[in-house]
Amino acid sequence: MTANDVSTSTDHGTVLTGTEAHIEATEKYAAHNYHPLPVVLSEGDGAWVVDVDGKRYLDCLAGYSALNFGHSNQRLVAVAREQLGHLTLTSRAFFNDKLSGFAVALARLTGKDMILPMNSGAEAVETAIKVSRKWGYEVKGVPAGQATIITMEGNFHGRTTTIVSFSDDEVATSGYAPFTTGFRRVKYGDIASVAAAIDDTTVAVLFEPIQGEGGVVMPPEGFLTELRALCTERNVLMVADEIQSGLARSGRTFACDHEDVVPDIYVMGKALGGGIYPVSAIAANHDVMDVITPGSHGSTFGGNPLAAAIGTEVVAMLEEGTFQARSTEIGALLEAGFRPLVGRGLSDVRVRGAWAGIDIDPTLMSGRQMSEALMARGILAKDTHGSTVRFAPPLVASDEDIAGLVAAVAEILAG
């Protein structure tokens, strides 16, 4: 068969065969809200994936850090299969026998009193916004309808209408006005800007400890510590979006751990479902979470038995510490490999754990061109913002895998 072959099954409808056929059908029948690389993946194991034509690739995106534990992780797949045979959904109209264990485990991992489970990362961010506002009115005493939340320039927290209301990404915002009010955006990592923006209406500061979508951008050292002190002093909630940066990606369980900082609200997603199922949650203490009462927030699928079973196993894996340690080791390899390329095709390199952002000399190529060149060499990565490419390999990637990535980047830059 050629790449354009299409076969038909009388039992299951049209079956597509080959890369071009899959891409053509997807582009015709699925909305064009993404601009993917021209590869059609069909299998995954560990750090590697296989396309429909049988070619293997090293996955250096890992589902935007949703696949921290690798594709088809045996422990997580086993738990999912077991739960699939018992119970997958009850809605929260009833208790289920898996949510209790998940709540206990995630509260223990975060050191918080309670969790509120949802599904997608954007839902978790929306939940944190709602909790922060309700806390502001009921606990802090902000006048009704006046609550404000401080956000950061360059942020990425999702794509709902409320979330894009405080984005400065023109692609994410164009055509979606009018926007939700109540947000003040300040310079990322600038504690003076945060302090100047706080007033009596401020209920929270929402931030990413590391801005993944921005290209693994980190604030100045000490910023998280200063932000924690400022939020405490001004009676403002510190809300850390750890959806991408958390759960071992940065070399610690949470990126905030690098400065031994504990936010008032953790926002989690992506890797919390192990790349198998959408699982997200926020975690906070009673003084914050108790503003949520029956009927004031909810989700049909949030906290369902399948999600809870997978999430519980994810927590168990994280509590062993091996993934955090491996992330640190991968980070050392990425730093050692990419740093010498600065001035030789790269203008900057940022590494924190198994997460790296490289800025390519724009006179050489764009980030998209680098990603395409890597794909041709059997490596999948994703560009962001012009000539920046970020790498987030699964934490099960081997030393040889990382060496191959670094060598491929160097070879491409050398022309």
Which positions are catalytic?
156, 241, 270
**The two three-digit tokens of residue 81, written as one number:** 């299969």
Q: Considering only CA atoms, which of 404, 389, 415, 126 is closest in space to residue 243? A: 126
In degrees, rounded to 5, the angle at the alpha carbon of residue 207 between the alpha carbons of residues 202 and 213 is 145
- The β-bridge relationship of strands 114-118 and 356-360 is unpaired
Bridge partners, residue 349, by sequence: 358
**The two three-digit tokens of residue 176, written as one number:** 């979606």
Q: Which residues contact 137 (CB under 8 A, 6 or more apart)?
A: 144, 147
Q: Compute the distance between CA of residue 255 and CA of residue 299 in angstroms, rounded to an integer.
A: 27
- Sheet with 41-45, edge to edge strand ranges: 41-45, 48-51, 56-59, 379-380
Which ranges in 160-274 belong to alpha helices (H)? 161-164, 170-173, 191-197, 223-234
Q: Compute the distance between CA of residue 116 and CA of residue 129 in angstroms, rounded to an integer.
A: 13
Q: Compute the distance between CA of residue 209 and CA of residue 285 in angstroms, rounded to an integer.
A: 20
